[in-house]
Amino acid sequence: MPKSPAPRVHGDVNGESTVRRGRPTGDHAAKRAELLKAATTVIARDGYANASLRKVAQQAGCTTGAVTYYFANKEDLVAALAESRFDRYDAMLEAARAEPGVKKLFERWLELTTGDPEFWPVMSQLFAHARYEPGFAALIERRYARFREVYTSILARGQEQGTVRADIPADLLADQLSAMGDGWMMMFPFEPERFTPARVKALLDAAITLITPAPTTRRAT
């Protein structure tokens, strides 16, 4: 009687020996999304350094081997998580492109960042981790460049329509506004009481005021 093929044993990942078995049943994309959601929860709760494939598996209610079928190691999982986060940014920007006015962009950003309590903490953890991983840093740089490119095009359109100040180049405005948002994101996990929905909205309204053209005044004749 022929023997069943032995499972493939992979090296340690954060002290964990992982075993990759046969193809799991079910929808591949749905399972990946489920594991990314579990990883999000673990990182938001325990921090990046304390997150592990074992914890992700426990959060998702599966084995570590099931996780490694979809993601080779923690770095692979985190890279996929970062890609999925930037996909949400891209979807937000594309939706804003189809709507008039820059204010819609800020409103969608507000919905994205305040509608998911894990979004800011996880993104700040990923950004901090990228400093120590060249490959991961390259991923962040590539996706962020795309984000700023689309952001710049939306602001440039606002300048053409007269709704965004034109005395500062659109790419500089995009950099400045992105830096403001990143700063809020980095501080949110430490001072959540300063970022209530009402105050975040006030901050965004202030940002809109900063990029709105100054009202023109007519000289008396």
Residues 102 and 182 in one domain: yes
Last residue of a domain, one of 19, 46, 72: 72
Stretch 41-65: mean pLDDT: 94
Min mean pLDDT across 64-73, 144-153, 165-174 is at 144-153
**Dihedral over Cα of 24, 28, 32, 34: its sign:** negative
* One-character DSSP codes across 140-157: HHHHHHHHHHHHHHHHHH
Residues 146 and 102 in one domain: yes
Confidence of residue 26 (pLDDT cuts 50, 70, 90): low
CATH number at residue 130: 1.10.357.10
pLDDT at 210: 92
Q: Which residues pair with 8 in a beta bridge?
A: 20
Q: Whole-number mean pLDDT of the chain?
A: 82
Stretch 58-64: mean pLDDT: 96
Residues 88 and 190 in one domain: yes
pLDDT > 80? residue 34: yes
- For residue 221, tell me if it sits in a domain: no
Q: How many CB atoms lie within 10 A of CB 105?
A: 23
Contact 99, 109 (CB under 8 A): no
pLDDT at 46: 93
pLDDT at 209: 92
Residues 17 and 84 in one domain: no
pLDDT > 80? residue 112: no
Question: Which domain range does residue 206 map to?
Answer: 75-211
| Closest listed residue to residue 67, CA positions, set 118, 19, 128, 27 | 19
- For residue 218, tell me if it sits in a domain: no
More confident call, 116 vs 217:
116
pLDDT > 70? residue 219: no
pLDDT > 80? residue 123: yes
Confidence of residue 139 (pLDDT cuts 50, 70, 90): very high
Q: How many CB atoms lie within 10 A of CB 95?
A: 12
Residues 163 and 91 in one domain: yes
More confident call, 152 vs 19:
152
**Dihedral over Cα of 124, 73, 57, 50: its sign:** negative
Distance separating alpha carbons of residues 198 and 210, to the nearest angstrom: 19
- For residue 2, tell me if it sits in a domain: no
pLDDT > 90? residue 52: yes
Confidence of residue 180 (pLDDT cuts 50, 70, 90): confident
- For residue 40, tell me if it sits in a domain: yes
- For residue 4, tell me if it sits in a domain: no
More confident call, 34 vs 214:
34
Residues 66 and 79 in one domain: no
Last residue of a domain, one of 31, 50, 72: 72
Distances (CA, A) of 162 to 101, 109, 157, 206: 10, 22, 9, 18
- For residue 217, tell me if it sits in a domain: no
Residues 65 and 80 in one domain: no
pLDDT at 21: 47
Residues 59 and 104 in one domain: no
**Dihedral over Cα of 158, 164, 170, 175: its sign:** negative
pLDDT at 23: 55
Residues 1-20: pLDDT tens digits?
444 444 444 444 344 444 44
Min mean pLDDT across 29-38, 95-104, 137-146, 155-164 is at 95-104
Residues 100 and 42 in one domain: no
Contact 62, 69 (CB under 8 A): no
Residues 86 and 160 in one domain: yes
**Residue position matching structure tokens 């975040």:** 200
pTM: 0.74
| Total of domains in the chain | 2
Residues 67 and 111 in one domain: no
pLDDT at 36: 96
Residues 20 and 62 in one domain: yes
| Closest listed residue to residue 211, CA positions, set 89, 105, 97, 102 | 102
Contact 219, 185 (CB under 8 A): no
**What beta strand segments (E) does the chain contain?**
8-13, 16-20
| Closest listed residue to residue 163, CA positions, set 205, 209, 213 | 213
